């Protein structure tokens, strides 16, 4: 008899409840029901439009998922004699009633199992429909290839201002977000629970907003752009910071780095050693990750007049062979990286936008270029004919310099976010456009009071990321669909936080004399030291102030700062101050006779040779003699 057979035979003698009970697995459907979006999705709108006469099921009647225990059963009714028609319910509540649908013969049939999927063909909305195609959704709903994962949503919070930068690694397991609150937060879907807390917070440069984040092709490092550019490893440890140039050198090609703040940066999608940055000093630079002391190439855009106009946006193409820059004068310039290439652009579009360009994006085939600007437009360009845009989408308000534009994974859709306007009540939207038809597909409401800045559709996990915020708060919204998406948010939503155990209790020691040792004592700041010195009259050499009143400390107020001895001598008549009433000339001549009779210092040396002095007579004596 083998060991396994013996174990099975022995198990038969014990009850089924014997031994350690297994942990109940969380119900994924309940976890996802708590993250379901309250706003109607295109799928629900199409379902209600296709079957207007069908009876709503239990799921459609409820506004959202049921939270808490089920409602109590209704009380049993009583007849006229006072007797109960039905006995009280004992035990767990009854299962919910089955959904009923209308069959082909017009009779109601009971549905067993999960609800049927929505029909493939969707009828157009009638004129009396509750949904307006211009406000909420487009009348022509997308096909299956345009299905957008929008049914559920989670928010990664933690920032106190608008989230201006976002990057998701290629596996879709790690998310990093940067904000105007000068911090970078790192999230890991594999290690997070339903609380959705970040596992690390960084402050790359104190007092500088985070403007861009970008992962390396191997996802082992990421680039962080603030006032300067820093490189971090996957766990958030600093690897280096690119050098800044000398701001007093006029020629930008002779400087070792940017001399002003950096506006954007992106890692080469094919080379893990090359980085592109753009700056307010009017240049783009290529860097080698292994050399933080100098750049590889300096690119100076083409300008109408020689001046320093900032480069507001930059991007690589899919193959890492071309770069594009958005210049502050509204122009778009494209360079092809080849042997012997310089700063002269291969493609130059003057006045492509009337305001600053905030986002640029190449298509995978290298034929289409998207540009997003603060002039509330999104333009689609054909790189083979760049004289004029193929399509201009307007009425897309944009108030942030980091607002971008992106493609869907199959590049059939183009989407971007909008900002909140002061007088508008529509809220921020995520707008999707068809690339081939060049028309609006859907508008998705993200937040009623926060603007959408960055957006991203991850191809591997099929989830849409958007960053929002204002001057007081910020967050990253993750949109997904349990039936379409994989991993990512699905992993952490159903994971409950760890329960506190008795082993987690820790007795805090009682400190009777804190900061007794100099090692643990807080060092006073220089400002406090200066204030303390100014309060000390000896260290600050502060002069004595005049005393008013009776005086104190041996000083009498009447004497205006004199000592007590001087005051008593003046009162006794020993010291007489008569110099204020005397003529200085008479006071000096009073000692003239004594000096002439008994010279003491210099006069005896010149007594034999000194001539007799003759003094001029006053004018008043001459006038008297004439009279």
Measure the CA–CA gap between 589 and 592, rounded to whole angstroms: 5
Asked whether residue 449 carries a pLDDT value surpassing 50, the answer given is: yes
Measure the CA–CA gap between 610 and 199, rounded to whole angstroms: 100
Instruction: Give the pLDDT confidence score for residue 71 in this predicted structure.
Output: 57
Instruction: Give the pLDDT confidence score for residue 341 in this predicted structure.
Output: 80
Query: By C-alpha distance, which of 76, 75, 72 is closest to 85?
Result: 76
Q: Which two tokens stand for residue 4?
A: 């396994």
Instruction: Give the pLDDT confidence score for residue 206 in this predicted structure.
Output: 87
* Cβ pair 447, 419 in contact under 8 A: no
Task: Please provide the distance, in angstroms rounded to a whole number, between the alpha carbons at the two ends of the chain.
Answer: 163
For 62-112, the pLDDT digits (tens) are 444 444 455 555 554 444 444 444 444 555 666 555 545 444 444 455 555
Measure the CA–CA gap between 623 and 5, rounded to whole angstroms: 153
High-pLDDT (> 70) share of the chain, %: 69
* Cβ pair 224, 167 in contact under 8 A: no
Residue 268: strand, helix, or coil: coil
CB atoms within 10 A of CB 211: 22
Let me know the angle formed at the C-alpha of 403 by 305 and 391, rounded to the nearest 5 degrees.
75
Tally of residues, the chain: 627
DSSP secondary structure string for all residues of 420-472? PPSS--S-EEEEEEETTT-SEEEEEEEESSSEEEEEEEETTTTEEEEEEE-SS
- Local confidence band at 222 (pLDDT 50, 70, 90 cut-offs): very high
Residue 13: strand, helix, or coil: coil
Query: By C-alpha distance, which of 400, 37, 417 is closest to 209?
Result: 400
Pick 613 or 249 by higher pLDDT: 249
* Cβ pair 329, 291 in contact under 8 A: no
Most confident segment among 23-32, 107-116, 488-497: 488-497
CA-only gyration radius of the chain, Å: 42
Asked whether residue 233 carries a pLDDT value surpassing 70, the answer given is: yes
Longest dimension (CA), the chain: 163
* Partner residues linked to 135 by β-bridges: none
For 192, counting Cβ atoms within 10 Å of its Cβ (0-12 exposed, 13-18 middle, 19+ buried), the class is buried
Q: In Å, what is the CA distance from 217 to each residue of 67, 149, 512?
A: 43, 26, 54
* Cβ pair 256, 211 in contact under 8 A: no
- Local confidence band at 370 (pLDDT 50, 70, 90 cut-offs): very high
Measure the CA–CA gap between 452 and 450, rounded to whole angstroms: 7
Measure the CA–CA gap between 147 and 152, rounded to whole angstroms: 14
* Cβ pair 456, 406 in contact under 8 A: yes
Average pLDDT of span 32-49: 55
SS3 assignment for 485-551 = CCCCHHHHHCCCCCCCCHHHCCCCCCCCCCCCCHHHCCCCCHHHHHHHHHHCHHHHCCCCCCCCCCC
Per-position b or e across 37-55, b if 16+ CB within 10 A of its CB: beeebbbebbbbbeeeeee
DSSP tag of 404 = -
Measure the CA–CA gap between 26 and 81, rounded to whole angstroms: 48
Measure the CA–CA gap between 11 and 470, rounded to whole angstroms: 62
Measure the CA–CA gap between 95 and 89, rounded to whole angstroms: 13
Instruction: Give the pLDDT confidence score for residue 393 in this predicted structure.
Output: 94
Q: In the chain, what are the domains?
A: 152-494 (2.130.10.10)
pTM of the complete model: 0.63
Q: Which two tokens stand for residue 49?
A: 């439009």
Pick 21 or 603 by higher pLDDT: 603
Q: Which residues, at least 6 apart from 153, have a Cβ–Cβ distance to it below 8 Å?
A: 35, 36, 37, 477, 478, 479, 480
Average pLDDT of span 449-460: 93
Q: Where are the alpha helices (DSSP H) in 270-317?
A: none
Asked whether residue 552 carries a pLDDT value surpassing 50, the answer given is: yes
Instruction: Give the pLDDT confidence score for residue 209 in this predicted structure.
Output: 93
For 136-169, the pLDDT digits (tens) are 434 344 444 478 998 999 999 999 999 999 999 9
Pick 258 or 87 by higher pLDDT: 258
- Local confidence band at 431 (pLDDT 50, 70, 90 cut-offs): very high
Instruction: Give the pLDDT confidence score for residue 3 in this predicted structure.
Output: 57
Pick 617 or 388 by higher pLDDT: 388
């Amino acid at each position: 008899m083998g060991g396994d057979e013996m174990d099975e035979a022995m198990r038969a003698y014990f009850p089924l409840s014997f031994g350690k009970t297994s942990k109940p697995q969380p119900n994924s459907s309940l976890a996802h029901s708590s993250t379901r979006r309250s706003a109607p999705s295109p799928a629900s709108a199409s379902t209600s439009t296709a079957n207007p006469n069908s009876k709503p099921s239990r799921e459609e009647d409820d506004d959202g998922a049921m939270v808490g225990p089920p409602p109590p059963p209704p009380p049993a009714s009583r007849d006229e004699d006072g007797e109960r028609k039905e006995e009280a319910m004992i035990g767990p509540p009854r299962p919910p009633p089955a959904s009923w649908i209308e069959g082909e013969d017009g009779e109601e049939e009971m549905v067993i199992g999960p609800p049927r999927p929505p029909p493939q063909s969707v009828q157009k909305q009638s004129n009396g429909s509750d949904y307006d195609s211009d406000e909420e959704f487009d009348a022509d709903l997308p096909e299956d290839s345009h299905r957008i994962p929008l049914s559920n949503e989670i928010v990664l919070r933690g920032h106190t201002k608008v989230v201006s930068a976002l990057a998701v690694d290629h596996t879709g397991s790690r998310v990093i977000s940067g904000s105007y609150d000068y911090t970078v937060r790192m999230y890991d879907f594999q290690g997070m629970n339903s609380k959705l807390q970040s596992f690390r917070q960084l402050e790359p440069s104190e007092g500088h907003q985070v403007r861009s984040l970008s992962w390396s092709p191997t996802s082992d490092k990421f680039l962080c752009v603030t006032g300067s550019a820093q490189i971090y490893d996957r766990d958030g440890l600093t690897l280096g910071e690119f050098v800044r140039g000398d701001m007093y050198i006029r020629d930008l090609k002779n400087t070792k780095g940017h001399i002003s703040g950096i506006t954007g940066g992106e890692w080469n999608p094919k080379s893990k050693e090359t980085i592109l940055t753009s700056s307010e000093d009017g240049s783009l630079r290529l860097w080698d990750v292994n050399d933080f002391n100098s750049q590889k190439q300096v690119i100076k855009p083409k300008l109408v007049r020689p001046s320093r106009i900032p480069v507001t946006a930059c991007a690589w193409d899919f193959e890492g062979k071309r770069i594009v820059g958005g210049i502050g004068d509204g122009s778009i310039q494209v360079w092809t990286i080849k042997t012997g290439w310089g700063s002269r652009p291969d493609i130059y579009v003057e006045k492509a936008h009337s305001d600053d360009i905030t986002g640029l994006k190449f298509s995978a085939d290298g034929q289409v270029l998207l540009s997003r600007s603060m002039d509330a437009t999104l333009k689609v360009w054909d790189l083979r004919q760049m004289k004029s845009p193929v399509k201009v989408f307007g009425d897309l308000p944009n108030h942030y310099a980091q607002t971008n534009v992106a493609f869907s994974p199959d590049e059939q859709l183009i989407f971007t976010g909008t900002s909140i306007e002061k007088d508008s009540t529509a809220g921020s939207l995520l707008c999707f456009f068809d690339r081939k038809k060049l028309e609006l597909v859907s508008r998705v409401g993200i937040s009623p009071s926060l603007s959408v800045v960055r957006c991203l559709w991850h191809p591997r996990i099929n989830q849409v990321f958007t960053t929002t915020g204002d001057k007081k708060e910020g967050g990253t919204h993750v949109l997904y669909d349990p039936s379409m998406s994989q991993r990512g948010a699905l992993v952490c939503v159903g994971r409950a936080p760890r329960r506190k155990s008795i082993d987690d209790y820790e007795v805090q020691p009682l400190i009777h004399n804190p900061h007794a040792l100099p090692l643990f004592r807080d060092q006073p700041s220089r400002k406090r030291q200066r204030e303390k010195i100014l309060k000390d009259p000896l260290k600050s050499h502060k002069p004595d102030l005049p005393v008013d009143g009776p005086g104190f400390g041996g000083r009498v107020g009447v004497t205006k700062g004199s000592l007590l001895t001087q005051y008593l001598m003046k009162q006794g008549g020993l010291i007489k101050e008569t110099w204020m009433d005397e003529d200085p000339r008479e006071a000096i001549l009073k000692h003239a006779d004594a000096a002439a009779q008994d010279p003491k210092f210099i006069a005896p040396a010149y007594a034999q040779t000194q001539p007799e002095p003759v003094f001029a007579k006053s004018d008043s004596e001459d006038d008297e003699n004439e009279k």
